[in-house]
Structure 1
Amino acid sequence: QDKLEAAYKALRKTGDQKNSFANYTTTEEITIKKPIQKDTKDTLCTTHMRDGIICHENCQLEFNFESGSNNFISCSCMGQDGKCKVCGCGPSSHYHDNTEMVTETKTIEKVLEDIKAQYDMADKTHKKISNYAHQFQETFANLQDQANANYDRIFQLCTDLSKICSRFNFVNELHANIENMRMDARNIQSIDLRKNAESDIRKLETFINGLSNRKNK
């Protein structure tokens, strides 16, 4: 029973540890860029498109999504020197694009790995001790059943003995045994288990006193 009580204490402790690490996730806002399709097309430069530079918005030239040609020499972004008035590059570095990058704020859930590791360890320990506690509980229940059966056997034997030995003094003969049982009960750490043991001892003592009283009448 002491092992069972110790297992329950450990179970409560590991349960508290597990709960203390349960919040191992946090939310974080991030900014992302994603392309969206437009109804119009823009003239971009392969060299400067990453900088977000648009050389000519809503270009009216025939759609051309590839660079490397002189098709854009007639684009309104080109100057008289044949260079783009916006980025300074030649026509061959330009192309059409009908998408644009938009900025979007997104909330994501982030796992705090160090806290998660401690939670997993506490959870593993908690489950292990829970299994031990269950095994101890089953063992104790079996022992309690055996103890109850032994008490019933003692009651029956005392009853039979009282019929056979009319002068047998149960109180005197079993006094030392009952005192030893009381001493053992006082050493039980669990309050509930100690109360159960003391209750069983009182029942036995009451029963024995009853037998002796009947003999004395």
Structure 2
Amino acid sequence: MTSNIMRCAFLPCVCDICKCSPFMHYDDTRKPIKKTKTVQEILDSVKAAYDSSVQKNEAMQNQIGGINVDMAALNAALDAHEATIRKCCQDLKNVCSQFSLVKELSGIIGIMEKAAKNLKSVEARKNAHDRIRKIQLVIEELTRGKNVVKASK
């Protein structure tokens, strides 16, 4: 309750200024001011928001371009390592004839398939399945006893 409401022993009390009850009374020293914006102020704020979104869009496009370059480099490195793995598998088969490389690679394929199921990107899932198929080709070549060093594409 404010000082405008009379303090009396009987209810209801009434405001001296607006004659309202204490339950409905609102007393504030601030007065509402109606502001109007000019068309130029509105255009400036919209232009600033547009310029900000254009700058953010350009920054995101640059990041996407950088990510694409990184992905291409990673794919090239994976392809290079794939050839090395093929040669190492053949060498390992020649050196350790008792070692079941096919069984080990089958276990790795199982792990890779589980990880591929969790991928959200369709392209990443496709790339993972391509890599899995290449490892399965290595397994088939090892079981047939062919030379694994040749590339399969």
Per the normalisation by structure 1, the TM-score is: 0.44
2:93 is aligned, of 133, 140, 162, to 162
Cα offset for 1:114?
Answer: 3.0
1:209 is matched with: 140
Give the match for residue 145 of structure 1.
Answer: 76
How far apart, CA to CA, are the structure 2 residues paired with 1:152 and 1:188?
Answer: 25
Aligned residues: 105
Q: Which has the higher strand share?
A: 1
Over the matched positions of the two proteins, sequence identity in percent amounts to: 32
| Matched-pair contact (CA < 8 Å) for 2:105–2:135 | no
* C-alpha separation in 2, matches of 1:125 and 1:202: 40
How far apart are residue 139 of structure 1 and its match? 1.8
80, 88, 103: which one aligns with 1:172? 103
In structure 2, the gaps of 5 or more residues are 1-41, 147-153
Higher relative contact order structure (alpha carbons within 8 Å, sequence separation ≥ 6): 1
1:135 to 58, 62, 66: 66
Q: 1:103-149 deviations in whole A, cap 9, x for unaligned?
A: xxxxxxxx933332221011010011111112222222222122112
Partner of 1:124: 55
Look up the equivalent residue of 1:202 and give its one-letter code. R
The structure that is helix-richer by fraction is: 2
Q: Aligned partner of 1:122: which letter?
A: S
When Rg is computed on C-alpha atoms for both structures, the one with the higher figure is 1
CA–CA separation in structure 2 for the residues paired with 1:121 and 1:209 = 56
Shift of 1:187: 2.0
Question: Structure 2 vs 1, CA of residues 209 and 169 (structure 1 numbering), >3 Å: closer, same or farther?
Answer: farther
Q: Is the 8 A contact 1:171 1:208 kept in 2?
A: yes
User: Offset at 1:173?
Assistant: 2.1
